[in-house]
Amino acid sequence: MSQLKPLSSHLDSIPSTPGKFKMDKSPYIHRLRYHFSLAKLSFWCFLFLSLILIFFYRAAPPNPNSASQSSSSSDPSRRSLQTPTWGGPNWEKRVRSSARIRSRNGICVLVTGAAGFVGTHVSAALKRRGDGVLGMDNFNNYYDPTLKRARQALLERTGVFVVEGDINDSVLLKKLFDVVAFSHVMHLAAQAGVRYAMENPTSYVHSNIAGLVSVLEVCKSANPQPAIVWASSSSVYGLNSKVPFSEKDRTDQPASLYAATKKAGEEIAHTYNHIYGLSITGLRFFTVYGPWGRPDMAYFFFTRDILKGKSIPIFEAPNHGTVARDFTYIDDIVKGCLASLDTAEKSTGSGGKKKGPAQLRVFNLGNTSPVPVTKLVNILEKLLKVKANKVMLKMPRNGDVQFTHANITLAQSELGYKPATDLQTGLKKFVRWYLSYYSGSGKKSSS
């Protein structure tokens, strides 16, 4: 009722017009005042109810199928939990069709992180040889999501459906296993990048630790349990200075939170193998590059910035030490992933119970020939026919290590892994793709 007061006092304050009508004495004016007050009361009630409705609408879980609803706008990896994007008969039909095996000895693989750089190449390669493939990705905006959508479109054309969802959504994962009996999981979804960990540490915990556990939980309860191949990283070698890095070397000195979450992942994998009989293979990738690559990686943004005439930072280790990477071409990584899937033994458990010991492996997948970053820039300059504006900087302490160098003896003997592309050849293919992707349609922007 207090809202009515200003209206009434407002009317009272209107000066009466002598000779025409007296506002305070006319019954018509009383009625008018009554209707006017009623209208104002209704307006405020309507406003109040609308605000309550808006509040509940925003607070309610947007997707009844989502396991976790906590979201943070600063955490790109959580974004997909906010919109309902799966379910229904058509959706199930697409899932089944994508996962259908089309070759005699084919396998049926769920690829997480399928719209990512490595995930797209692995999914396409599996599909090409007749395996059943279903992709999953949350399309987060850690880097330009339009690139992820373009990769998704590419996969669609090869017959791979990429389900939009977060690996922490265990209800969605379980639904996928209800619809398809996956024989294998290629787990590539992760928060990648070493430096971004200082900006958004929780995204690493969300995707690389909680997400991995969520995937393993669903796999362990599935019947039959799938065999799992997942991406660890060369970054687990951290401050290890013995080269080349061998799987037997110490990995207890991570130099970044990213590395620490990958190392934690390797320990978590051990636990699920030990308790539930899951067959698990971890792959330590060494700086993967190539067409459809990741814009946050040096070879990619060097290319962009050289073409734009911008300066590019080149890090120098203490005492003018060289920073070098064991750059590994995407096709070699794909071969290593497929060989890991093909040699993976079956998990031994069923329905969450272990029946016997299961396979547990870790492999380095690198190129075995580290190249100084300065040489990478020289090759790019020649391919792009543009001189780079190089700025030498001291390597900041933000998680990067001075060099990486893989010993691949184990992968060679167990997987038949044999990298075949040198940096010059691989970068040529990357540059060709880059130029056609970013200037081809004239629409896409690499910034």
Ligand X SMILES: NC(=O)c1ccc[n+]([C@@H]2O[C@H](COP(=O)([O-])OP(=O)(O)OC[C@H]3O[C@@H](n4cnc5c(N)ncnc54)[C@H](O)[C@@H]3O)[C@@H](O)[C@H]2O)c1
CB of 83 to ligand X, least distance (A): 13
184-187 vs 161-164, strand pairing mode: unpaired
Tell whether residue 119 is a contact of ligand X (CB under 6 A).
yes
Per-residue tokens: 322: 């060289």
Crossing angle of helices 423-440 and 298-308, in 10° steps, is: 60
Integer Cα distance of 166 and 387 in angstroms: 42
* Nearer CB in complex with ligand X: 66/348: 66
Restricted to residues 134-163, the positions that interact with ligand X (CB under 6 A) are: 137-140, 148
Tell whether residue 77 is a contact of ligand X (CB under 6 A).
yes
Among 132, 211, 226, 291, binds ligand X (CB under 6 A): 211
Among 66, 183, 207, 281, binds ligand X (CB under 6 A): 207
* Nearer CB in complex with ligand X: 140/347: 140
* Nearer CB in complex with ligand X: 144/414: 144
Tell whether residue 288 is a contact of ligand X (CB under 6 A).
yes
- Select from 2-10, 23-31, 43-51, 108-116 the region that touches ligand X (CB under 6 A): 108-116
Beta carbons within 10 angstroms of residue 121's beta carbon: 23
Binding mask 42-61 for ligand X (x = CB under 6 A): --------------------
Beta carbons within 10 angstroms of residue 175's beta carbon: 20
Per-residue tokens: 289: 């590059």
Q: Which of 101, 85, 171, 103 is closest to 134 using CA atoms? A: 101
Beta carbons within 10 angstroms of residue 138's beta carbon: 27
Kind and range of the H or E run holding 394: strand 389-394
CB of 227 to ligand X, least distance (A): 18
- Select from 41-49, 164-172, 353-361, 411-419 the region that touches ligand X (CB under 6 A): 164-172
CB of 209 to ligand X, least distance (A): 11
* Nearer CB in complex with ligand X: 81/312: 81
Residue nearest to ligand X (CB): 116
The set of residues, in sequence order, having a beta carbon less than 8 Å from that of 126 and lying 6+ positions away, is 107, 109, 111, 133, 186, 338, 341
Tell whether residue 214 is a contact of ligand X (CB under 6 A).
no
From residue 17, alpha-carbon distances to 21, 22, 34, 36, 104 in Å are 6, 7, 21, 21, 97
CA angle, 267 then 286 then 193, to 5°: 75
Tell whether residue 180 is a contact of ligand X (CB under 6 A).
no
Among 98, 107, 116, 354, binds ligand X (CB under 6 A): 116
* Nearer CB in complex with ligand X: 254/277: 254
- Select from 3-11, 54-62, 173-181, 284-292 the region that touches ligand X (CB under 6 A): 284-292
CB of 296 to ligand X, least distance (A): 8
The set of residues, in sequence order, having a beta carbon less than 8 Å from that of 29 and lying 6+ positions away, is 21, 23
* Nearer CB in complex with ligand X: 172/348: 172
Kind and range of the H or E run holding 40: helix 27-59
The burial of 328, by beta-carbon neighbours within 10 Å (0-12 exposed, 13-18 middle, 19 or more buried), is given as buried
Among 191, 240, 348, 407, binds ligand X (CB under 6 A): 191
User: 313 by DSSP, 3-state: which?
Assistant: strand
Number of residues that bind ligand X (CB under 6 A): 29
CB of 301 to ligand X, least distance (A): 14
Q: What is the DSSP string of 222-261?
A: SSSPPEEEEE--GGGGTT--SSSB-TTS-----SSHHHHH
Restricted to residues 354-413, the positions that interact with ligand X (CB under 6 A) are: none
Among 182, 245, 285, 430, binds ligand X (CB under 6 A): 285
From residue 82, alpha-carbon distances to 69, 79, 110, 164 in Å are 7, 6, 22, 11
258 is annotated as an active-site residue: yes
Restricted to residues 290-309, the positions that interact with ligand X (CB under 6 A) are: 294
Catalytic entry in 143, 237, 258, 289: 258
Integer Cα distance of 182 and 55 in angstroms: 41
Among 99, 118, 259, 431, binds ligand X (CB under 6 A): 118
Beta carbons within 10 angstroms of residue 83's beta carbon: 12
CB of 115 to ligand X, least distance (A): 4
The residues annotated as belonging to the active site are 258
User: Contact positions toward ligand X, by CB under 6 A?
Assistant: 77, 113, 115-119, 137-140, 148, 166-168, 188-192, 207, 211, 231, 233-234, 285, 287-288, 294
